Amino acid sequence: MRALFTLTPSESKRLIAKGVKALPAMLNAMQNHTVILAGGTTNAFLLDELLGDKLVEKSRYTVGMIVEGKTGESKEDQRIHPYVFSKGKPLDSAFHWKEYLPELKAGDIFIKGGNAVDSTGLAAVFAANSMGGTIGAAFGPLYARGVQLIVPIGLEKMIPDVRDAVEFMATSPVDEAMGNKVGLVPMLGATVVTEITALETLYQIKAKCIGSGGVAGSEGAITLVIEGEESEVRKALTTIQMLKGEPPVQ
């Protein structure tokens, strides 16, 4: 059986969050290890799923973001700092995620949002901070200790070639910008979770993105087709129907 549906960016974020939560490595880490959930609007949806509660203003769970048609950032005095989960339980809010970096070990998971992904599965993230921001601080411990990096990212952020874009940006800094000046940092070796990954994790189906774009509130939407046994396709459609109408990120 085949079924077709369209997801707005916020609906995609909700689906991706459900998919990340269901990853085998994530299930293991939430039971036996530590998960650092860095900032990002898609990660804010994952925070909802992990806490069983809904954060209304998702933009509070990020620093940098694209808003009002330009590169920008959230209001500093309203930000929610990244959560750290130890064996499924959130640590005290006074505990800063950077304090745990020296303790990272295999089995732990670091989750970071992104701004670009390509058809090869390579993702990258903007960095306005001169030290590379969140990913700049985390890269060393992650690579040195074999800690899994998960990148939840919607297909609305697909670009032709991440490697080419990174190499282009690395040759010279931006001189002027309509918004914040940013660099582009690749996230090599990351487990990238898109809408397709989420669907194929949650259900025994195959998924393909066959188009993108829309108008009247569906800008950034993607159109997907899923295929599989009727029972599995209908299970997936039930989930899709439940997340339809997810309000835009505020």
Domain ranges of the chain: 9-205
Q: How far is CA 85 from CA 37, 39, 57, 127, 177, in A?
A: 8, 14, 21, 25, 37
The answer on pLDDT for 183 being more than 80 is yes
Tens digit of each residue's pLDDT (9 = 90 or more) over 85-107: 999 999 987 778 888 888 899 99
What the block records as the tokens of 216 is 């009247």
> What pLDDT sits at residue 56?
81
Locus of tokens 């901070």? 129
Percent of the chain topping pLDDT 90: 78
Selected residue with higher pLDDT from 65 and 44? 44
The mean pLDDT of 38-66, rounded to a whole number, is: 91
What was the pLDDT predicted at 241?
98
Which residues neighbour 2 within 8 Å (Cβ) at sequence distance 6 or greater? 225, 226, 227, 233
Specify the amino acid at residue 139: F
Q: For residue range 207-232, what is the model confidence (pLDDT) as tens digits?
A: 999 999 999 999 999 999 999 999 99
pLDDT for 245 equals 95
The pLDDT assigned to 54 comes to 83
β-pairing verdict for 205-212 and 191-193: unpaired
Alpha-carbon distance values, 19 to 29, 107, 120 (Å): 15, 19, 20
What's the full length of the chain, in residues? 250
**Residue keyed to tokens 């505020």:** 250
Please provide the average confidence, as pLDDT, over all residues in the chain. 94
Query: So what's the pLDDT on residue 75?
Result: 85
pTM across the whole model = 0.95
Report residue 15 as tokens. Answer: 């689906």
* Secondary structure of residue 199 in the 3-state scheme: helix
pLDDT for the residue 73: 87
- If we measure between CA atoms, which residue out of 76, 71, 74, 63 comes closest to residue 174? 71
How confident is the model at residue 135, as a pLDDT?
85
* Identity of the amino acid at 170: A
Residue 137 has what pLDDT? 83
* Mean pLDDT value of segment 161-166: 98
Residue 54 DSSP SS3? coil
